[in-house]
């Protein structure tokens, strides 16, 4: 099994995290892991993101990756901080080759058949469908999968606890990305753990 597939199969939901305060990193990671969601995507959308990755990587059982990786420099910084997988909103040849050279699992974003074909040409077969709902939702993904039935997908963007099971019912969907698990503001770790438990109970 490819490393990226191992990441995707670890849990039905990958929390997509935007964290400003480094002090919140470990309590949030501990709550998510305790709730059954070990795979954590820390987006590089804040100045504290790399420090957050470093802190979360210290949590036992956590599989920490970086999201919003746009180029090889982002990838290198994220990997240096302890990220063990990389998620990008799109796909470029430079980024794919950098991930291959760094021997790090890459989950690149795709939105249409051209994106998928370019990914296949680069030897990739696991993708993030992004932004999932804005791109037409489940009907659009099912249409795309017609000619690309052997790829594996993680829909991200607009997926909720209420809709996640519908996405996961698609055979090629190994997991979904979810930002609902950690609302903005001061974290309520008990509530985060409860939401993680509900998400982890989803079936594929």
Query: Which residues does the annotation mark as catalytic?
Result: 41, 128
CA 49, CA 81: separation in Å to the nearest integer?
Answer: 9
Backbone φ and ψ of 152, nearest 5°: -115, 145
CA 181, CA 189: separation in Å to the nearest integer?
Answer: 10
For residues 66-93, one letter each, b for 16 or more C-beta atoms within 10 angstroms of the residue's C-beta and e for the rest, the string is bbbbeebebbebbbebbbbbbbbbebee
CA 174, CA 171: separation in Å to the nearest integer?
Answer: 8
Q: Determine the length of the chain.
A: 204
CA 152, CA 173: separation in Å to the nearest integer?
Answer: 6
Backbone φ and ψ of 162, nearest 5°: -70, -30
């Amino acid at each position: 099994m490819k490393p990226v597939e191992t990441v995707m199969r670890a849990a039905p939901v990958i929390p997509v995290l935007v964290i400003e305060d480094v002090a919140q990193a470990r309590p949030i990671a501990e709550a998510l892991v305790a709730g059954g969601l070990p795979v954590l995507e820390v987006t590089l959308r804040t100045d504290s993101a790399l420090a957050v990755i470093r802190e979360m990587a210290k949590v036992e059982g956590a599989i920490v990756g970086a999201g919003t990786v746009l180029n090889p420099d982002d990838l290198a910084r994220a990997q240096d901080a302890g990220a063990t997988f990389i998620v990008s909103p799109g796909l470029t040849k430079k980024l794919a080759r950098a991930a291959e050279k760094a021997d790090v699992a890459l989950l690149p974003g795709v939105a249409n058949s051209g994106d998928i074909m370019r990914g296949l040409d680069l030897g990739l077969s696991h993708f993030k469908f992004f932004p999932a709902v804005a791109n037409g939702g489940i009907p659009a993904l099912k249409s795309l999968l017609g000619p690309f039935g052997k790829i594996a997908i993680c829909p991200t963007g607009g997926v909720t606890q209420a809709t996640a099971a519908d996405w996961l019912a698609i055979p090629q969907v190994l997991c979904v990305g979810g930002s609902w698990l950690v609302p903005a503001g001061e974290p309520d770790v008990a509530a985060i753990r409860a939401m993680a438990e509900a998400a982890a109970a989803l079936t594929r």
